[in-house]
Amino acid sequence: MTAARRSGASRERILEAAAEVVSEHGYAGTTIARITERCGLPASSVYWFFEDKDELLAAVVLHHYEGWLERRPQWRPVGPGEDLVAVLDELLRPWFRDLGEATAYLRLGQSLLLEPREHDSAARTRFVALRREGMQVFEEWFATELRRSGAAGERPPEEVAAELARLLVVATDGLVLSHRAGEGLDSDLFLDLLLDTVAEVLQGAADRPAGTAGDRTDRMGR
């Protein structure tokens, strides 16, 4: 193995160990000593790659986000004659079934979000930014499809898209927490209920005059 490959393998071991430790102990309880004990490398190896714990955990967030992106649905457009909710089912079902195994990024992020906010760590700041970026992807897909289909009725498509994107992100958070708690929630049943809710939001948008849903949208954003 070349020196470059050995260096890459060591960095990977440190990142994986740090992710496990912060998921178990939280940000405050994560120490370089615990990380080195978990990965089997000396502290000097950690400091070779990272200036301090905060920089290391920010790198962990990005590392697992990149892996999560590979598993996230590819947001193809809704074709002529296709139903938006049916396409959403096709896109989300494999992803939701996989959430129990592929949630390192989301588990880590939830651990960071639950930490007391005496100061925002670089890791927490990075996760919040990536979370917003992910929500924006959902919003843009919904807005594009709602504009194309007219399914938002008289309401602005962007307004309905924001509601649906928040719903999807919050639902994902809940499913991940359920897995973490060992509740064994049936992801297919959960998605069925979520899709029913999406259908109800769309039906309500189609039936409701513009400007009458602002209070609910504002509440969802708080």
> Please, what are the domains in the chain?
3-50 (1.10.10.60), 72-221 (1.10.357)
Distance CA 68, CA 15 (A): 15
Beta strands in the chain (DSSP E): none
104-113 and 122-149 are packed helices; what angle lies between their axes, rounded to 10 degrees?
120
* Per-residue model confidence as pLDDT tens digits over 34-55: 999 999 999 999 999 999 998 9
Q: Which residues lie closer than 8 Å to 153 by C-beta, 6 or more apart?
A: 205, 206, 207, 208, 210
Half-sphere exposure of 159 (CA within 13 A, CB side): 20
Tokens of 14: 């440190």
Q: What is the reported pLDDT for 111?
A: 80
* Per-residue model confidence as pLDDT tens digits over 74-129: 889 999 999 999 999 999 998 888 776 556 787 788 888 877 765 678 888 888 89
| SS3 annotation, 41-80 | CCHHHHHHHCCCHHHHHHHHHHHHHHHHHHHCCCCCCCCC
Q: Which residues lie closer than 8 Å to 23 by C-beta, 6 or more apart?
A: 104, 107, 108, 111
* Cβ neighbours, 10 Å, residue 51: 9
187-207 and 84-98 are packed helices; what angle lies between their axes, rounded to 10 degrees?
150
Tell me the residue length of the chain.
222
Q: Which residues lie closer than 8 Å to 46 by C-beta, 6 or more apart?
A: 14, 32, 35, 36, 56
- 208 pLDDT exceeds 80? no
Token look-up 């089912």 returns 89
Select from 18, 26, 103 the least CA-distant residue to 59: 18
* Per-residue model confidence as pLDDT tens digits over 142-191: 999 999 988 888 889 999 999 999 998 888 888 888 877 777 678 899 99
Distance CA 64, CA 52 (A): 19
Give SS3 for 213. Answer: coil
